[in-house]
Structure 1
Amino acid sequence: MKKLLVAFFVCLVFVAFAQQVIKIGAIFPLTGPAAATGVKIKYAVEVAQEIINNEYPEIELLLGKTAGLPNLGGAKIQFVFADHQANPELAMAEAERLIRNEGVVALIGCYHSSATKPASQVAEKYGIPFIAGSSSSAALTERGLQWFFRIAPHDGMETVFFFEYLKYLNQKYNANIKKVAVVYIDNEYGVHAAQMVKEKIKDYQADGFSLVADVKYPANATNVDIEVQKIKGAKPDAIFHASYIGDMTMFVKKYKEFNVVPKVVLSYCGGYQDPQFVVNLGKDADYFAGPNATTSALFKKMPILAKINELYRAKSGVDIDGPTLEDFASAIVIAEAINLAGSTDPQKILNVLKTTAFMAPYFVSGRIKFGPDGQNIYSASVMTQIFNGVYEAVWPEQYQTKEPAPQFPEWNKR
């Protein structure tokens, strides 16, 4: 009789979990200057939710095999979206609201590093996990927070990636790239990217690299004539950009107008990676480059990613891009952590996040593992360059879908 009672209560617990909906807050710029990007990220998180809550065995993700979280009796995940409008104060307020009023057990977000910073501090105060997908400011994982994790490579890692790529171009193609300019938006993301350039270039002075221009522009800039003239006067071989889609579009148009022709332009996680960049600029987008967690050119080599993209494209009408895939990953990882914890207890979820290597077959790295500072130690990035409107993987060579062009052509010869 006692065994029957135990079995009965186990069944009750299983049914309770099966009926449970576990809420996770998702804070992104759904309106405002980065709304186009924020809405696409929302689609990606919704795809993650669909995979988690239903059966997609062909996608070969841990939570694609069953409907819901198997270790919690099939409990469903619900991502509760909030809009920070690219406003850090609003991001902080929305984090507070989601935790106190919506009862979320974790947070993901916020794309803008300047919004991720205060929102994650709220999560730290309440003791719940926060996973940033695509926010890249190195400072985010330098705060000593216990509850913060980040999937994307930070701008310090990307800066090293940039210089190593330039060395590759110099060695293989005799590109003779030496003079570097950094161009950046005046916010958390841009300022820290520029700081990383100034720090990391010291390690590459023996390779002949020097910083010839440091160009900061305001977040609300509507004209960048002065900045572009300063860049042109410095005659850089390479330009490192920390800009969002609207800013990056504006700079490219001015580069063409003022006939700025560097050898290479590399962009941190931001505007360049958004496929809207090609829509905005057409053939003028060609030859720009930057790291990406994915590109449509890789789909043939990565079948699981291609299947995820099919679901994403059905919602968004476009292929998934690098930052969007990183935020998809944040949604998958937090759900897997809750499932592995077998609980919504924040401390148990935290322990899983700190100790587990998560499989990520949608990244070229194949896995995600957080270091002591919360940073994913495996960079998923490949260097991409646009050719005929397509983001091709150009480096490292084992992922190459096309050889890089080490020299921008003249604007009038495109």
Structure 2
Amino acid sequence: MKLAGLMTTSALALTMMTPQAFAEVTFGALFPFSGQLALLGEESARGLEIAVDEMNAAGGVQGEQIVLERGDAVDNNQAIGEARRLISLSGVKAIFGSYSSARSIAASQVAELAGIPFFELGAVADEVTSRDFKYLFRTNPTADHMGKLIVEMIVEKVAPGLGKAPGDLKIGIIHEDSSYGTSVAGHQERYGKEAGLNIVTTMPYPAATVDMSSMVLDLQSRGVDVVLQTSYQNDSVLFLQQASEAGYKPSAIIGGGGGYSMLPTAEAVGNDVIEGVLDADFTQYAVNTDFTPGLESFVETYRTKYGMEPRSGHSLNNYVGALAILKAIDAAEGLKPDQIVAAVSAIDIPQGQTAAGYGVQFGEGNQNQRASMMGMQWQDGTLVTVYPPEAAAAEMRFAQ
């Protein structure tokens, strides 16, 4: 009997030490961690990491600690290969990504065919959610939001601030030629035409271009008053530098996210060049925090974890989207794909209840119908929210 009792006690001790007491669930984190888009890819992934830390501190999802398996989507082919690896070899329950629209479009098709949920937290191109996929959800605002907001800013703020009627301004659109830039430019043209804007040129270019001087000269020769650029970091820096070197000073430059939202871009071109430049993008940090509950806590957590200030709002918006998804998965009936999809489909977070200011509810194409963007301006070395008025931390400035 003593031996049996000893065996029972030992078995109990072994049971308490088995992996079930420290159960883990693995999700994929598919971002461009290397290559041309690495800076914003890494910044986006940091938002996901902070959301995972928060969930794990509260018990994980369904009692299991979350483990992130990274996949490096350095280009479209690599995004496809890494998605396959995460699904077939790592056995992830879902994939989170991916900042780049082109990478997202490629990798999410792999996930859809495998029946694995794919949660896009940062890519804006129309095609991401226009394919009627069952397992793909996007939490962030889109190219449509960006194009519409930029036109609204021109009509309601920029034109009056310059003392002109909107239709009297000459608008020039330049954009990198992937799904991201092409989608945003298309919406700028459509909403601009509806608003009666005078768009005198639209010029695409490869994001990897090393010379934009001819484009600068073309804009200058046309007398373009307002330049709209949708770009990543390197091409944002290149255009701003070469426009400055050519002495081209349009009345307004409005960036479409990407490089225009990043502190490293401002540092690369200098305050004299970036001052007054406008931007439409995800929620950033100099904002009316009554509009963004939880933002200040996120920033403090970011500083503690990474030992630096957030480099753009991509980390914040990835955090908001990931946290909403992970909380829904925690409340799901299980971790099978259809159980996850059912739980995520039922998310209903009202406007004004996330650190990004917008809510979360999925509609047509599994797109977050409550997502929205804001207008910012570089003022005294800081990217400050200036639009819409209820979220603004400062008034829009115009050169005298």
| TM-score (norm. length: structure 1) | 0.85
Deviations 1:300-335 (A, max 9, x none): 544521111111122331225322222222321331
Q: What secondary structure sits across from 2:108 in the alignment?
A: helix
The reply to whether residue 396 of structure 1 matches residue 374 of structure 2 is no
Match for 1:79 among 65, 68, 72? 68
1:184–1:191 contact (8 Å) kept in structure 2:
yes
Q: Which residue type is aligned with residue 141 of structure 2? A: P
**CA distance in 2 between partners of 1:333 and 1:144 (Å):** 22
Deviations 1:92-116 (A, max 9, x none): 1111110111011111111110111
Shift of 1:172: 4.9
Q: What secondary structure sits across from 2:355 in the alignment?
A: coil
Deviations 1:146-173 (A, max 9, x none): 2211122111121111111111115753
**CA distance in 2 between partners of 1:17 and 1:201 (Å):** 58
Q: 1:267 to 1:171 in 2, by over 3 A?
A: closer
The reply to whether residue 313 of structure 1 matches residue 277 of structure 2 is no
Which deviates more from structure 2 when the two are superposed, residues 317-326 or residues 213-222?
317-326
Q: 1:300 to 1:169 in 2, by over 3 A?
A: closer
Match of 1:363 in 2: 356
Match for 1:287 among 276, 283, 297? 276
The reply to whether residue 328 of structure 1 matches residue 319 of structure 2 is yes
Q: What secondary structure sits across from 2:209 in the alignment?
A: coil
Match of 1:22 in 2: 25
The reply to whether residue 151 of structure 1 matches residue 139 of structure 2 is yes
Shift of 1:219: 2.7
Match of 1:184 in 2: 175
Of all paired residues, the percent bearing the same amino acid is: 24
Match of 1:412 in 2: none
| TM-score (norm. length: structure 2) | 0.88
Q: Which residue type is aligned with residue 330 of structure 1? A: G
The reply to whether residue 273 of structure 1 matches residue 230 of structure 2 is no
Deviations 1:239-271 (A, max 9, x none): 221100111001000110112222222222311
Shift of 1:125: 0.5
**CA distance in 1 between partners of 2:332 and 2:228 (Å):** 41
Deviations 1:216-242 (A, max 9, x none): 112321111111111212222222211
Q: Indicate the RMSD between aligned Cα atoms, in angstroms.
A: 2.1
Deviations 1:173-221 (A, max 9, x none): 334443221111121211222222233323212xxx0211111112321
Match of 2:38 in 1: 35
Any unmatched runs of 5+ in structure 1?
1-11, 55-65, 410-414
Q: Which residue type is aligned with residue 297 of structure 1? A: A
Q: Which residue type is aligned with residue 342 of structure 2? A: N
**CA distance in 2 between partners of 1:203 and 1:392 (Å):** 28
Q: Which residue type is aligned with residue 296 of structure 2? A: A
Deviations 1:109-154 (A, max 9, x none): 1111011101011111011211111101112121121221112211
The reply to whether residue 129 of structure 1 matches residue 132 of structure 2 is no
1:21–1:77 contact (8 Å) kept in structure 2:
yes
Q: Which has the larger radius of gyration?
A: 2
Q: What secondary structure sits across from 2:30 in the alignment?
A: strand
Match for 1:47 among 50, 73, 76? 50
Match of 1:339 in 2: 330
**CA distance in 2 between partners of 1:350 and 1:300 (Å):** 32
